[in-house]
A = this chain, B = another copy of it.
Amino acid sequence: MAVGVEKKLELLPVKGFRLGIASAGIKKPGRRDVVVMEVPVDATLAAVFTRNQFCAAPVVLAKKHLASGALPRYLLVNTGNANAGTGAAGLTAAADCCAALAEKTRVDTESVLPFSTGVIGEPLPVAKIVAALDAALDNLDENHWLEAAHGIMTTDTRPKGHSVVIEHQGKQITLTGISKGSGMIMPNMATMLGYVATDAVVDANLLQRLLSQVNEQSFNRITVDGDTSTNDACLLVATGQSGVEVSDLEPALMDKFVAGLREVMLELAQAIVKDGEGATKFVEVRVERAANVDEALKVAYTIAHSPLVKTALFASDPNWGRILACVGRAGVQDLDVDEVNIWLDDVAIVRNGGRAESYTEAQGQAVMNQENILIRVSLNRGQVQESIWTTDLSHDYVKINAEYRS
List A residues at the B interface (Cβ < 8 Å). 51-55, 84-87, 120-121, 185, 187-188, 190, 225-230, 305-308, 311-312, 314-315, 317, 319-322, 324-329, 332, 335, 337, 350, 352-355, 393-395, 397-399, 401-406
Determine the distance from Cα of A320 to Cα of B326 in the docked complex, in whole angstroms.
30
B227→A85 contact, CB < 8 A = no
Contacts of A399 on B, CB cut-off 8 Å? 395
Q: How far, in whole Å, are A188 and B52 apart by their CA atoms in the complex?
A: 34
Nearest Cβ in chain B — how far from A78, in angstroms? 17
Contacts of A312 in B (CB 8 A): 187, 401-402
Partner of A85, one of B52, B324, B397: B324
* Extra contacts besides A85-B350, A307-B401, A314-B402 (19): CB < 8 Å: A52-B325, A52-B328, A53-B327, A85-B354, A87-B355, A120-B325, A121-B321, A185-B308, A187-B312, A187-B322, A190-B308, A190-B325, A225-B306, A226-B307, A227-B306, A228-B328, A314-B398, A319-B405, A393-B398
- If the complex has contacts A85-B321, A226-B306, are A53 and B335 also in contact, measured as CB distance less than 8 A? yes
Taking A312-B402, A395-B399, A406-B317 as contacts, is the C-beta distance between A227 and B324 under 8 angstroms? no
Residue of B nearest to A231 (CB): B325
Roughly how many angstroms separate A332 CA and B324 CA in the complex, as a whole number? 30
Query: Given A319-B405, A398-B394 in contact, is the A308-B53 Cβ separation under 8 Å?
Result: no
Residues of chain B within 8 A of A53, CB atoms compared: 327-329, 332, 335, 337
Residues of B within 8 A of A121 (CB): 320-321, 355
**Interface SS majority for chain A:** loop
Residue on B nearest A307 in the bound complex, by CB: B225
Closest residue to A225 on the B side, CB-wise? B307
Question: Complex: how many Å from CA A325 to CA B355?
Answer: 40
Assess whether A54 is in contact with B307, with CB atoms less than 8 Å apart.
no
Pair A308/B225 contact, Cβ less than 8 Å:
yes
Q: List residues of chain B with CB within 8 A of the CB of A406.
A: 315, 317
- State A86–B402 Cα separation when bound (angstroms): 39
Q: A86-B354, A226-B306, A308-B227 in contact; A321/B402 too (CB < 8 A)?
A: no
Cα A188 to Cα B311 in complex, Å, equals 12
Q: How far is the CA of A228 from the CA of B187 in the complex (A)?
A: 27
Please, how many angstroms separate the alpha-carbon atoms of A306 and B190 in the complex? Answer: 13
Query: Are A54 and B308 in touch, CB under 8 angstroms?
Result: no
Q: Across the interface, which residues of B come within 8 angstroms of A394, CB to CB?
A: 398, 402
Query: Given the complex, which residues of B lie within 8 Å of A353, measured CB to CB?
Result: 54, 87
Chain B residues, Cβ within 8 Å of A324 = 54, 85, 230
Instruction: Tell whether, in the assembled complex, residue A227 and residue B325 are in contact, meaning their CB atoms are under 8 Å apart.
Output: yes
Closest to A393 in B: B398
Inside 8 A of A308's CB, which chain B residues have their CB? 185, 187, 190, 225, 227, 401
The residue from B226, B227, B315, B328 contacting A402, defined by CB atoms under 8 A apart = B315
Q: A322-B187, A355-B121 are in contact. Are A397 and B52 (CB under 8 A)?
A: no
- The residue on B at minimum CB distance from A394 is B398
User: Which of A315, A332, A403 has the most chain B CB atoms inside 10 A of its CB?
Assistant: A315
Report the nearest B residue to A359, measured CB to CB.
Answer: B121
What is the CA–CA distance of A319 and B312 in the complex, to the nearest angstrom?
Answer: 28
A326 to chain B: which residues have CB within 8 Å? 227
For the complex, what is the distance from the CA of A6 to the CA of B32, rounded to whole Å?
53
Assess the B401–A325 pair: CB atoms within 8 A: no
